[in-house]
Amino acid sequence: MPSRPEPGQRGSIPHGGIVEPTIEHRPWGSYRLYIENKPCTVKRVDIAPWSALSLQFHEHRAQRYIILDPMLVEWSNEPVPFGMHERDAILDWYMAHKVFRYVENGDELFFDRRVVHRPHNDSGKEASFVEVAYGHNDEEDITRLADRYGRA
Please give the domain boundaries of the chain with CATH numbers for all domains.
1-38 (no CATH), 39-146 (2.60.120.10)
Four-residue CA torsion sign, 39, 41, 25, 2: negative
Task: Kindly state the average pLDDT of the residues 107-115.
Answer: 93
Nearest to 64 by CA among 96, 102, 97, 33: 33
Provide the 3-class DSSP secondary structure of residue 114: coil
Task: Kindly state the average pLDDT of the residues 73-99.
Answer: 94
- pLDDT at res. 103: 95
- pLDDT at res. 3: 37
For the cut 50, the answer to whether the pLDDT of residue 9 exceeds it is no
For the cut 50, the answer to whether the pLDDT of residue 48 exceeds it is yes
